[in-house]
Amino acid sequence: MTHFTKVALYTGADGYAAFREETVALGEGTPQSMLSRVFASGGYQLRMSPVGFASEFHCTGAPQWVFILGGVMEIGLQDGSVRQFRPGEHFYSADLLPAGATFEAKRHGHRSRQVGPDPLVTLFVRD
């Protein structure tokens, strides 16, 4: 059985956002077209962010897949690390505010920004 690598942005037990890689089994279909099981979704949104877009630190409101369709998206974490995603790449954004916590801009969430000469075009698919 083969698998798909899911890049996940999540909230750790310490309340800080982090990345990890998870596997999704591709156990259906044929050898020429391996498929995962069908996952339910809660809808999708398209977004275009202009050159120069940058957000403040924030948590994801609801778990969602983020697919980069155009431009480059950079995700920055509280520890100073950054990761860039280019067209055709993805991540699963699930860095939710911990239950009962009050948002602290110096502890929780991630920031995102557009990088390079092209607007950022993304597809968000909700769980």
Query: What tens digit of pLDDT does each residue of 54-98 get?
Result: 999 999 999 999 999 999 999 999 999 999 999 999 999 999 999
Q: Which domain holds residue 49?
A: 2-126
Residue type, 59: C
Query: What is the average pLDDT score of the chain?
Result: 96
CB 4 within 8 A of CB 26: yes
Reply yes or no on whether the pLDDT at 1 is more than 70: no
What are the pLDDT digits (tens) for 2-40? Answer: 999 999 999 999 999 999 999 999 999 999 999 999 999
- Structural domains in the chain (count): 1
Q: Are 93 and 60 in contact (CB under 8 A)?
A: yes
Please tell me the distance from the alpha carbon of residue 1 to that of residue 114, in angstroms, as a whole number.
Answer: 36
Rounded to two decimals, what is the model's pTM? 0.92
CATH of the domain at 59: 2.60.120.10
Yes or no: say if 105 and 56 are a contact pair by the CB < 8 Å rule: yes
